[in-house]
């Protein structure tokens, strides 16, 4: 289609906080990464590969955050992921033996055995443990655009109290991107879609052309955008903003009417880690004996307030195929209504957490695969596009000042600043001010040991600023771990701060935390100048 009436842009936000515990392999939180690889990142790569092999012309955008990139590149975590897969293969083999009593569940046991075996083959033998290079390949051939994010997903609308902390988040995000992808990022997923106008000058300074924001960040802009979220706007500083489409988001995200709630889809919360005999499952759950998700789930959602039925892979695929058609038809209708009213073809931006696709919504990657094929073959009135491609084709846009906003509950900052976590911010702001102070005091530092300590101060501050810890505290899950992470990073920062001020650095302590908090090896503390 040479002249489409409009465009649809999928943007998946791939992010996990930096979790690295070389001192102990029993931290349950490390499994967040392993689950995401098996259930989201590998399935996406598999489906991208199939689309390319089938000569389907598609486009998709992904943000890959700096903490995630650093974890995917970490040799210890790669080795532990292989151990994780081998353990799951062993459990799956036991399940094949145990479930011979029922043909349907035994079929699923074989399904999981095949899946984990294939995951191990792909990760170790095909991708050689390098998933970053695997995603980079699709960017290099032009079907995927990868964008960046804040260094540790720090929440800009609160961090801007010390502006240099926003500058550092952006600078390190760009630096990390360049390291892994060999080019500058054109776009950034604002952490939590948190927009604050004070960030614009730093986005421009580091070459960021566009941002992804929440719907009302565009809709409440000044002046009001003529075309709402269906066309990008440009801020007075020259930063282009794309806003989330409300209707397409609701079709996927809604807990009531969203596609992931289909009764044929896999039930996330029923897992053999909780369901079967404790002595049998004990070797495959948490080291402290706590029951956890294993990823082996035999039931479908089934319905509300009724006994769960077994999961059927084909039924789930049938639902995904039907819903992908519905999604495409809805976008076709939207564009038919919008196109006559606009100077340029409308763009419908569809941003989601990447981990929704596969982890929470098990069938999500397959749904995307079918949707992209339908769009290509069914000759609908729109094409898939990346934000960069849209900017290049339609560079003229309305100038507006976006509204402070986020995609958190109620649309602003209360998820990251409320009575459960408000005490954290005075420590983050104080540490931010101290980091700026250190950058000025030691701006000409030549002592290698002091430079190491200064760079580690920057790492500890960035890690403490992760919005994930505040979200977890608000959400009430894994709260002790989140609080510990904030306390540890602020504590390490503060100890190094006074050691530098007093000219008395404990090299053993420094080496220990460098090994633990080994994110951003190329960081330069002078970014806080």
- 11-28: per-residue pLDDT in tens? 999 999 999 999 998 898
pLDDT > 90 in the chain, percent = 97
For the cut 70, the answer to whether the pLDDT of residue 43 exceeds it is yes
Q: Average the pLDDT over 261-273 and give the result.
A: 97
Parallel/antiparallel/unpaired status of strands 240-243 and 233-234: antiparallel
pLDDT > 70 in the chain, percent = 100
Average pLDDT, the chain: 97
**Per-residue pLDDT tens over the stretch 492-517:** 999 999 999 999 999 999 999 999 99
CATH number at residue 162: 3.20.110.10
For the cut 90, the answer to whether the pLDDT of residue 3 exceeds it is no
Q: Which domain holds residue 436?
A: 417-528
Both 335 and 384 in one domain: the answer is: yes
Q: Average the pLDDT over 252-269 and give the result.
A: 92
Q: For residue 511, what pLDDT is reported?
A: 98
Long-range contacts, stretch 319-325, CB < 8 angstroms, 24+ apart: 319/262, 319/264, 319/265, 319/363, 320/259, 320/363, 320/366, 320/367, 320/370, 321/370, 323/259, 323/262, 323/367, 324/367, 324/368, 324/370, 324/371, 324/374, 325/374
| Residue 158 near residue 417, CB atoms below 8 Å | yes
DSSP conformational letter for 262: -
The domain total for the chain is 2
In a domain, residue 296? The reply is no
In a domain, residue 106? The reply is no
Domain boundary among 377, 410, 443: 410
Q: Sorting pLDDT into bands at 50, 70 and 90, what band is 144?
A: very high
HSE, CB side, 13 Å, CA atoms: give it for residue 424: 30
Domain boundary among 357, 381, 410: 410
Q: Sorting pLDDT into bands at 50, 70 and 90, what band is 256?
A: confident
**Per-residue pLDDT tens over the stretch 440-463:** 999 999 999 999 999 999 999 999
3-class DSSP assignment, residue 256: coil
DSSP letter for each residue of 469-529: HHHHHHHTSSHHHHHHHHHHHHHHHHHHHHHHHTT---HHHHHHHHHHS---TT--GGGG-
In a domain, residue 24? The reply is yes
Can you point out the beta strands (E) in 183-278? 187-189, 210-213, 233-234, 240-243
In a domain, residue 255? The reply is yes
**Per-residue pLDDT tens over the stretch 84-122:** 999 999 999 999 999 999 999 999 999 999 999 999 999
For the cut 80, the answer to whether the pLDDT of residue 2 exceeds it is no
| Residue 358 near residue 43, CB atoms below 8 Å | yes
Both 393 and 501 in one domain: the answer is: no
Both 146 and 45 in one domain: the answer is: yes
Q: For residue 1, what pLDDT is reported?
A: 61
Distance CA 503, CA 41 (A): 46
In a domain, residue 124? The reply is no
Q: Average the pLDDT over 357-368 and give the result.
A: 97
For the cut 80, the answer to whether the pLDDT of residue 255 exceeds it is no
CA 171 and chain centroid, separation: 19
In a domain, residue 108? The reply is no
Both 184 and 199 in one domain: the answer is: yes
Both 421 and 368 in one domain: the answer is: no
End-to-end CA distance of the chain: 50
For the cut 90, the answer to whether the pLDDT of residue 223 exceeds it is yes
Both 259 and 354 in one domain: the answer is: yes
């Amino acid at each position: 289609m040479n002249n489409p009436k409009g465009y649809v842009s999928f943007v998946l936000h791939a992010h996990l906080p930096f979790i690295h515990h070389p001192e102990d392999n029993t931290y349950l939180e490390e499994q967040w990464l392993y689950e995401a690889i098996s259930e989201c990142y590998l399935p996406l790569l598999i489906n991208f590969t199939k689309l390319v092999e089938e000569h389907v012309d598609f486009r998709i955008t992904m943000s890959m955050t700096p903490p995630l990139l650093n974890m995917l590149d970490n040799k210890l975590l790669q080795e532990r992921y292989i151990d994780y897969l081998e353990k799951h293969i062993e459990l799956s083999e036991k399940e094949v033996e145990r479930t011979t009593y029922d043909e349907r569940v035994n079929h699923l046991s074989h399904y999981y055995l095949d899946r984990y075996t294939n995951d191990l083959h792909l990760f170790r033998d095909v991708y050689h443990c390098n998933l970053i290079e695997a995603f980079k390949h699709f960017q290099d051939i032009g079907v995927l655009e990868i964008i960046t994010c804040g260094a540790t997903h720090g929440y800009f609308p609160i961090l801007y109290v010390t502006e240099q902390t926003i500058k550092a988040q952006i600078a390190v995000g760009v630096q990390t991107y360049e390291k892994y992808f060999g080019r500058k990022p054109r776009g950034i997923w604002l952490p939590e879609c948190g927009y604050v106008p004070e960030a614009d000058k730093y986005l421009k300074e580091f070459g960021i052309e566009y941002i992804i924001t929440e719907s009302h960040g565009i809709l409440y802009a000044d002046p009001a955008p003529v075309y709402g979220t269906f066309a990008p706007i440009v801020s007075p500083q020259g930063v282009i903003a794309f806003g989330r489409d409300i209707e397409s988001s609701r079709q996927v995200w809604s807990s009531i009417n969203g596609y992931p709630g289909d009764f044929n889809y896999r039930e996330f919360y029923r897992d053999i880690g909780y369901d079967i005999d404790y002595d049998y499952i004990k070797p495959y759950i948490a080291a402290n004996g706590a029951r956890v998700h294993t990823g082996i789930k035999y039931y479908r959602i089934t319905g509300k307030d009724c006994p769960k039925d077994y999961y059927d892979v084909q039924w789930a695929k049938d639902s995904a195929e039907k819903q992908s058609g519905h999604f495409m038809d809805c976008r076709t209708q939207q564009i038919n209504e919008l196109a006559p009213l606009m100077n340029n073809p409308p763009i419908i931006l569809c941003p989601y957490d990447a981990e929704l696709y596969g982890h929470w919504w098990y069938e999500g990657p397959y749904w995307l695969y079918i949707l992209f094929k339908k769009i290509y073959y069914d000759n609908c009135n729109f094409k898939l596009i990346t934000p960069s491609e849209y900017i290049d084709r339609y560079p003229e846009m309305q100038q507006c000042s976006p509204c402070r906003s986020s995609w958190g509950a109620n649309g602003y900052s209360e998820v990251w600043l409320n009575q459960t976590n408000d005490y954290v911010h005075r420590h983050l702001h104080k540490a931010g001010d101290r980091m700026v102070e250190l950058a000025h005091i030691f701006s000409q530092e030549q002592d290698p040991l002091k430079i190491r300590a200064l760079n580690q101060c920057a790492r500890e501050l960035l890690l403490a600023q992760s919005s994930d810890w505040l979200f977890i505290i608000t959400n009430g899950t894994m709260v002790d771990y989140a609080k510990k992470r904030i306390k540890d990073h602020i504590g390490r920062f503060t100890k190094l701060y006074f050691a530098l001020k007093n000219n008395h650095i404990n090299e053993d302590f420094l080496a220990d935390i460098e090994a633990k908090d080994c994110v951003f090896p190329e960081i330069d503390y002078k970014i806080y100048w």
